[in-house]
Amino acid sequence: MTDGGRVYLDHASASPLRPGAFDAMVPFLRDHHADPGRVHSDGRVTRVAIETAREQVAALLGARPREVVFTSGGTEAVNAAIFGASRRAADATRIVTTAVEHSSVTDACARDPFETVTVGVDPTGRFSDADVLDAIGPTTALVTVQLANHEVGTLQPVAEICAGARERGVLVHVDACAAIGYLPLDFSAIGADLMSVTAHTWGGPKGTGALLIRRGLRIPSFVVGGAQERDRRGGIENIPAIVGFGAAADELVQSGHLDHESANARTLTDRIRTALMTTISGFTIHGPTDASDRLPNIVCFGVDGVEAEPILLALDQRGIAIHSGSACSSESLEPSPVLAAMGAEADHALRVSVGWSSTEADIDRFLSELPGIIEHMRGLRTS
C-alpha cells in the first residue's frame, strides 16, 4: 500500500522504485556528474559505476557483461533490435512476429518496408512454436517474439523458437520486458540472439533498460552519434538510472528476493483468481489456468455486463489503481490487440498486477471494494 492510503496494483505498467535502487542513485544525482568517457579521475568514477551495474544486470539475466547494452528503456531496446537485425541482411525482406506483441514491437515492425508475417494465438494468448517456425522463409531477416505476455501473463515457447530459427539461420529477438524481475531469466539458455528488458516494471528506475546482444553478433546501431556502449548505442549514458538498474538487479540476485517475491506475487494473484471465481458471479479470467504457464504477478479478467472503464474509475475514487484492457497509453482509446487476438472482449477487461511492494492488505482492500462496485454498475445497467 502506498502513502496516503492508496492501493497500487498496476506494477506491470510501472512499479515503485526500490529503496536500495534509490539509495544507490543519489550519489550520482548529487556528487558524481562526470562524463564516463573521460580519462580524468571524475570520469573514471562514473565509468566504474556503469561497468559495475552492467555486471549486476548481466548476473540477473544469465548473460556476459559485454552482451549488455544500456538503453533508455524497453521500447528503445526493442526498436534497436528490430532496426539492427532487419538491416543486417541485405536481401532479407520479411519479419515474423505474433498477434500478442507489445506495441513497441508491432510499431517497429510496421515502420520499415518489410513484409510482416503475424502468427495468431490460441484463446489463452499462447502462440505455437511450430506456427512461428513455419512462417520463416528464405527472405526472413528476424523473428521477434515475447517471452511472456504483458496483459494476461501467458508464457511463450521461446526456447523452442530460438533453437528452430538458429537451425534455419535466422536471428531471434525475445522481448522479456514483462518477465524480468518476476521470473528467473537465462539469456544463454534461452538461445536468443537479442533480448530486450526494462527496469521500471519491477522496482528499477524509469528511463533505463537494456538490449542483450549475443556475443559475436554485430548489428547496425539504432542510436548513432557517439561511440558509447562499445559503439553500439550513441549518447552519454544515464548514469543515475543505470546505477539504480544495477542495484535493483543485484538485490534480486544477492538476496534471493526474486524467488521470494515471485512466490508472494503468486500467492496474491491466486487469492484474486479464487475470489473472482468463487465469491463473485459473472467473471471470466483471461489467459492460462495452469500457474506454470503464466507470470506470477498478473491477473486479467472480464466482467460480464459492465464495461471496464467505469469500474476502473470507481476503484480509483476509492484509492485503488489497476489497469483496463486497453492499449499501453491512456491517450489511446483503441482496445487491446492482445485481447482481440485471443477473442476476448477488451472493453470489459481489467488487469491487476502486483509487485515487490504489494501486500495481503492491498488485496484485502481490492476484494472488499470490487463486489459493491460491480453490483452498483450492474444495477444501473438493469434500471
Residue 61, H or E segment:
helix 41-61
Question: Beta strands 194-198 and 209-213: pairing type?
Answer: antiparallel
Assess whether pLDDT exceeds 80 at residue 35.
Answer: yes
Query: What is the pLDDT at residue 138?
Result: 94
pLDDT in tens, 318-336: 999 999 865 444 555 567 8
The candidate with the shortest Cα–Cα distance to 174, out of 163, 158, 160, is 158
Q: What CA–CA distance (Å, rounded) separates 175 from 154? A: 13
> Which residues face 303 on adjacent strands?
283
Q: What CA–CA distance (Å, rounded) separates 241 from 254? A: 20
Map out the domains of the chain as residue ranges. Answer: 3-16+257-382, 19-255
- 80 versus 279: the higher-pLDDT residue is 80
Most confident of 309-313, 332-336, 354-358: 354-358
User: Average pLDDT for residues 109-114, to the nearest whole number?
Assistant: 88
Q: What CA–CA distance (Å, rounded) separates 243 from 248? A: 9
The CA-based dihedral angle spanning residues 179, 366, 283, 355, taken in that order and rounded to the nearest 10 degrees: 0
Query: What is the pLDDT at residue 158?
Result: 98
First to last CA, the chain: 36
Domain 19-255 falls under CATH 3.50.50.60: no
pLDDT in tens, 169-186: 999 999 999 999 999 999
Question: Beta strands 298-303 and 320-321: pairing type?
Answer: unpaired
Q: What CA–CA distance (Å, rounded) separates 27 from 4? A: 28
**Catalytic site residue 328?**
yes
Assess whether pLDDT exceeds 50 at residue 119.
Answer: yes
> Maximum Cα–Cα distance for the chain, whole Å?
74
Task: State which CATH number among 3.40.50.720, 3.90.1150.10, 3.40.190.10, 3.20.20.10 fits the domain covering 3-16+257-382.
Answer: 3.90.1150.10
Helices assigned H by DSSP within 324-359: 337-342
CA–CA–CA angle 334, 340, 344 (5° rounding)? 115
Query: What is the pLDDT at residue 219?
Result: 95
Q: What are the strands, taking DSSP E only, across the chain?
A: 7-8, 68-71, 94-98, 115-119, 140-146, 171-175, 194-198, 209-213, 283-286, 298-303, 320-321, 323-324, 349-353
Choose the catalytic residue: 109, 162, 177, 328.
Answer: 328
pLDDT in tens, 215-234: 999 999 999 999 999 999 99
Residue 245 is classified by DSSP as: H
Query: What is the pLDDT at residue 327?
Result: 46
User: Average pLDDT for residues 182-206, to the nearest whole number?
Assistant: 98
Task: Judge whether 68 and 229 are in contact, CB under 8 Å.
Answer: no
Model confidence at 3, pLDDT cuts 50, 70, 90, reads very low
Assess whether pLDDT exceeds 90 at residue 78.
Answer: yes
Model confidence at 256, pLDDT cuts 50, 70, 90, reads confident
Task: Judge whether 95 and 114 are in contact, CB under 8 Å.
Answer: yes
Q: What CA–CA distance (Å, rounded) separates 217 from 194? A: 9
